[in-house]
Amino acid sequence: MSSMTICARFRPLSSKERRDHGDTVCIRCIDAETFLFKDEKDEEFTFSFDKVFYEKSEQAQVYEFLAWPIVKDAVDAINGTIITYGQTGAGKTYSMEGPSILVCDEQKRGLLPRIVEGLFDCIKSSGGTMKHSIKLSMVEIYMEKVRDLFDLSKDNIQIKESKSQGILLNGVTEISVSDPAEALQSLSSGIANRAVGETQMNMASSRSHCIYIFTVHQEVKRDDRLKTGKLILVDLAGSEKVEKTGAEGKVLEEAKTINKSLSVLGNVINALTCGSPGKANHIPFRDSKLTRILQDSLGGNSRTALLCCCSPSPSNALESLSTLRFGMRAKHIKMSPRVKCNEDKCAEKQGPASSPIKHESCEIILDKLKERFDAEDVKLLEELFTLNGILFDPCSSEELDSAFEDVTSQTIVSLQQAVEELASTVDELKRENKGLKERLAADERSHAAGKEAGDNNTSSLVHKLPGILRSFVSWVRSLSSIKLLNCEVN
Ligand SMILES: Nc1ncnc2c1ncn2[C@@H]1O[C@H](COP(=O)(O)OP(=O)(O)OP(=O)(O)O)[C@@H](O)[C@H]1O
């Protein structure tokens, strides 16, 4: 059993950070694995990781240490995952993509283009005894919805679990790529689609988690067997504090959703590392889309690496400390990746990833639920099925149980969200009520003050009334006399 590979990376100081604090940094290098970190209260902490990439580290060094072993394994049908974590602007996307994945200095190229090249190099060097093929998918998780970046019409992809293939994204677009140039072109179009979303939905790419999935199929010609290795790259959304950014409205909602999914990620890591040995521990993978997608990666059947990206500036010490502590906790996750070996025909039997919802399946689950819940609850869950398009393969009782857990967990999460929304509505109404009360009190005060003046006006009117009445009577009289005159003339 191996551990997750955890590295820390410090980007160079930004010009703003230089303006604020000059060349001061909050880290002191001890060696390639260990450094001293000084927080805002000048307290010092020692951190040790598998590798630390300081400001001057090259992109190639990160690739060689963190990604290359995982790339080689993916071609040998061992699942791999690489995650970049850290506050906004800490260097996650720079590490993952580089300044651009298509046109960029060789030296600055990020993990993604290097991984693409590495995968095809491995395939080339494996000789002719095996036939490889690579498929590519790209999704982002925005406000707890999984969006297909190769087909924007698929904006609420459902997550499915299959016994033979593990976690799957139902109906996600898979593009077959035959060389690095083709793969980079596809990735670039996916990244461009992220930008389209930005203008259409007014969201910045840092408000969503971006996930690149490479599926490497290996056909062993000799015995007609199909092995599959999945390589998942995750560029997480920024983990900054909401209070510091002063976010409001929609941006605040986005930040809350991001923080929630990142805190579920933290909970999953805690549950994976804090359980008592030999005792089954509940791991809350289903509490967010991110952790559900990463279930195989974090749950053990994958070689997983985490790059904790940080700013070296004292102005971001709090966020960097939280990122580094997150990395330290993840260090204790144990992995035991296995080779995924599927019989060729078996994969076909599972049906394509995009198979439609089977109504009979829903009925089986609902029947099972009827044994535990009353009719009204089952009806509500039935609606949930329809709304969320929850899918499953009802092949075994475990899968039924798993689908049942999905429904329960999603219901709990939606109820928690509803409670949070209600609580914020209550706060808003309380504020509004207070404002109204204050206005009412102010109105009453001004009314009392104005009453006297009003009385004075009324009394002056009363005084004027007899005069007004007299003029009116004389006007009516003159009118009647005109009328009489008219009659006489006629
Ligand atoms: N190692 C590095 N060397 C040089 N520049 C870097 C490095 N890391 C990050 N930068 C620069 O810092 C800025 C912020 O980096 P980046 O966009 O990668 O942050 P991020 O963590 O992905 O932020 P977000 O969460 O908002 O997407 C960019 O201008 C990037 O070019």
Question: 142 φ, ψ to 5°?
Answer: -125, 125
Nearest CA to ligand 1 atom 14: 89
| Residue 272 pLDDT | 79
| Residue 361 pLDDT | 62
111 Cβ neighbours under 8 A, 6+ residues apart:
59, 62, 63, 66, 67, 82, 95, 96, 97, 233
Q: Please say whether the beta carbons of 347 and 226 come within 8 A.
A: yes
Nearest atom in ligand 1 to 10's CA? 1
| The two three-digit tokens of residue 301, written as one number | 């059947």
Q: Please say whether the beta carbons of 153 and 106 come within 8 A.
A: no
Under CATH, which number does the domain 2-345 receive? Answer: 3.40.850.10
| Residue 352 pLDDT | 39
| Residue 226 pLDDT | 82
Binding residue per annotation — 118? no
Nearest CA to ligand 1 atom 15: 91
- Distance CA(213)–CA(237), nearest Å, equals 17
Query: CA nearest 362: which of 345, 344, 379, 375?
Result: 379
Q: Where are the domains of the chain?
A: 2-345, 356-432
Strands 5-10 and 303-310, bridge-based pairing: parallel
Query: CA nearest 175: which of 215, 148, 135, 144?
Result: 135
460 Cβ neighbours under 8 A, 6+ residues apart:
none
| Residue 202 pLDDT | 38
Nearest atom in ligand 1 to 59's CA? 1
Q: Please say whether the beta carbons of 214 and 135 come within 8 A.
A: yes
308 Cβ neighbours under 8 A, 6+ residues apart:
6, 7, 8, 9, 49, 85, 86, 323, 324, 326, 327
Distance 298 CA to ligand 1 centre (A): 25
Condensed to tens digits (0 to 9), the pLDDT of residues 446-485 reads: 888 876 655 555 555 555 556 656 666 566 565 555 444 4
Nearest atom in ligand 1 to 90's CA? 21
Ligand 1: residues within 6 Å at CB?
A: 11-12, 86, 88-94, 205-206, 238, 309
What value, to the nearest 5°, has the Cα angle with vertex 153 and ends 151 and 156?
A: 100
Nearest atom in ligand 1 to 206's CA? 27
pLDDT tens across the length of the chain (490 residues): 566 899 999 999 999 999 988 899 999 999 999 999 999 888 999 999 999 999 999 999 999 999 999 999 999 888 899 999 999 889 999 999 999 988 889 999 999 999 999 999 998 887 767 788 999 999 999 888 999 999 999 999 999 887 777 888 999 999 999 999 999 999 999 998 886 554 444 345 567 899 999 999 988 776 667 888 899 999 998 876 655 555 566 666 766 677 777 888 888 887 877 765 555 677 888 888 999 999 888 877 788 899 999 999 999 999 999 999 999 988 877 766 665 544 443 343 334 333 334 455 666 776 777 676 777 777 677 666 655 555 444 444 555 555 566 666 666 666 766 777 788 788 889 888 999 999 999 988 888 887 665 555 555 555 555 665 666 656 656 555 544 444 444 4
- Distance CA(172)–CA(153), nearest Å, equals 11
Binding residue per annotation — 87? yes
- Distance CA(195)–CA(176), nearest Å, equals 23
Distance 106 CA to ligand 1 centre (A): 17
Distance 314 CA to ligand 1 centre (A): 17
